[in-house]
């Protein structure tokens, strides 16, 4: 048994608390057995929910470092990444994905939404990559058809094996084909999500008409587009480090002012290491000149916002809403400390409540 005390992040914000931890069998997270609000006699620490990475593409972990290029050349349909994914050996891909997933765990992440390329084959790969480690986190597969066309049989099979549908970009598709996919997903209560307005502005009314669970990016969205999303309670996932790779930045304060629930993700494995601590810092830094965001709001984008707004249910692994990170505590205000200073080496341990 050991105790920690310090700021503890609840849904409403930080409270002072003292917690008692008990070890369990090897390979099982220690258990939080006692929570006492306002206690302060344990080892000083900051305690927050484990990090939620709301958007990754695990597949590109096979690529060490990308060449230079724009969005279409590197990650668009038929671009560099897709050419590599089509040519690599399946076993090599699975082992690269497995390393990437282990990195996620090491970085204090226990919930992930993976936009899965490659149709049924892609689902098979990620399932193989998680064998033996999937009980440690909640990995949500958002798969998509193999090509840019609707095939009823393929969709039926995908829908029986996926947690959600995650489409490349609205403009990559023929609208009628995309409507069929969205309709099938919605009929089966499978969340339908897509990238939107990353490179160019896309027609938000047509996108929302598809019945979307969440949108990714929205960099080129207008204020009216954001208000339209807010009025339908559509969360937006932003990935600022991936956007910076292409000389772009999301306007997060504008999204928040429009009333959007914002979540954070690290996007393509080949563009950004899945480190949510770095992602939070970048989100904070790029927002200062746009009116600024409170560090606590940024921290929520990597913890409670996705738990509440995205709340996907994984077919593999287990729900990890009850896992917490115990972090080294410094002298600064806790949210500012986590967002701007804490690194993976400051994770003392992961506990289950
Ligand atoms: Zn993406």
Cα(216) to centroid(ligand 1), Å: 7
Q: What is the pLDDT of residue 44?
A: 97
Phi, psi for residue 318 in degrees, rounded to 5: -135, 160
pLDDT in tens, 46-63: 999 999 999 999 988 888
Question: From ligand 1's centre to the CA of 238, what distance in Å?
Answer: 9
pLDDT over threshold 90, residue 211: yes
Q: How far apart are the CA of 190 and the centre of ligand 1, in A?
A: 19
CA of 237 from ligand 1 middle (Å) equals 9
Residue with tokens 């060490």: 64
**148-157, 217-226, 233-242, 313-322: the lowest-pLDDT one:** 313-322
Quick one: average pLDDT of 271-297? 96
The beta strands (E) that lie in 278-328 are given as 323-327
Helix H or strand E segment including 226: helix 223-231
State how far the alpha carbon of 128 is from the alpha carbons of 120, 122, 245, in Å: 13, 10, 30
Q: What is the dihedral of CA 175, 181, 182, 187, to 10 degrees?
A: 140
Q: Name the more confident of 30 and 64.
A: 30
Q: What is the DSSP code (8-state) at residue 349?
A: E
- By the CB criterion, residues less than 5 angstroms from ion ligand 1 are 267
- Element at 62 (helix H, strand E): none
Cβ count near 27 (within 10 Å): 7
Q: Which fold has domain 52-309?
A: TIM Barrel (3.20.20)
Give residue 137 CA to ligand 1 midpoint distance, Å: 20
Q: What is the pLDDT of residue 63?
A: 87
Rounded to two decimals, the pTM is 0.95
Instruction: Calculate mean pLDDT across residues 222-229.
Output: 98
- Report domain extents, the chain: 2-48+322-352, 52-309
Tell me what percent of the residues of the chain surpass a pLDDT of 90. Answer: 80
CA distance linking residue 195 with residue 214, whole number of Å: 9
For 63-118, what is each residue's pLDDT tens digit?
A: 888 888 888 888 888 888 888 888 889 999 999 999 999 999 999 999 999 999 99
Average pLDDT score over the chain: 93
5: its two tokens: 């005390």
* Distance separating alpha carbons of residues 111 and 339, to the nearest angstrom: 18
% of the chain surpassing 70 pLDDT: 97
Distance 115 CA to ligand 1 centre (A): 7
C-alpha of 100 from chain center: 14
Query: Residue 217 and residue 196: Cα distance in Å, rounded?
Result: 6
């Amino acid at each position: 048994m050991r105790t920690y005390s310090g700021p503890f992040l609840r849904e409403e914000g930080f409270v002072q608390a003292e917690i008692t931890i008990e070890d369990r069998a090897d390979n099982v997270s220690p258990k939080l057995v006692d929570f006492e609000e306002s206690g302060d006699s344990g080892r000083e620490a900051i305690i927050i929910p484990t990090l939620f990475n709301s958007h990754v593409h695990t597949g590109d972990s096979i690529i060490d470092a990308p060449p230079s290029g724009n969005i279409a050349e590197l990650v668009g349909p038929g671009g560099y990444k897709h050419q590599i994914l089509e040519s690599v050996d399946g076993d090599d891909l699975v082992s690269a994905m497995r390393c990437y997933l282990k990195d996620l765990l090491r970085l204090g992440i226990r919930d992930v939404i993976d936009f899965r390329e490659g149709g049924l084959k892609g689902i098979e790969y990620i399932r193989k990559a998680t064998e033996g480690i999937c009980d440690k986190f909640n990995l949500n597969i958002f798969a998509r058809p193999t090509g840019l066309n609707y095939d009823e049989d393929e969709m039926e099979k995908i829908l029986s094996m996926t947690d959600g549908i995650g489409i490349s970009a609205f403009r990559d598709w023929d609208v009628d084909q995309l409507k069929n996919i969205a309709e099938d997903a919605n009929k089966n209560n499978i969340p339908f999500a897509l990238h939107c307005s990353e490179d160019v502005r896309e027609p938000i009314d047509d996108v929302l008409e598809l019945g979307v669970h969440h949108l990714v990016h929205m960099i080129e969205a207008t204020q009216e587009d954001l208000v339209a999303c807010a009025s339908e309670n559509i969360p937006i996932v932003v990935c600022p480090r991936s956007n910076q790779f292409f000389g772009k930045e999301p306007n997060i304060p504008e999204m928040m002012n429009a009333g959007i629930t914002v979540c954070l993700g690290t996007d393509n494995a080949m563009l950004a290491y899945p480190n949510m601590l770095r992602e939070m810092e970048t989100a904070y830094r790029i927002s200062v000149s746009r009116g600024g965001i409170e560090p606590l709001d940024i921290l929520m984008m990597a913890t409670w916002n996705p738990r509440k707004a995205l709340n996907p249910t994984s077919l593999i692994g287990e729900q990890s809403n009850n896992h917490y990170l115990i972090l080294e505590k410094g002298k600064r205000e806790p949210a500012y400390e986590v967002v701007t200073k804490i690194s993976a080496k400051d994770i003392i341990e992961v506990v289950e409540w």
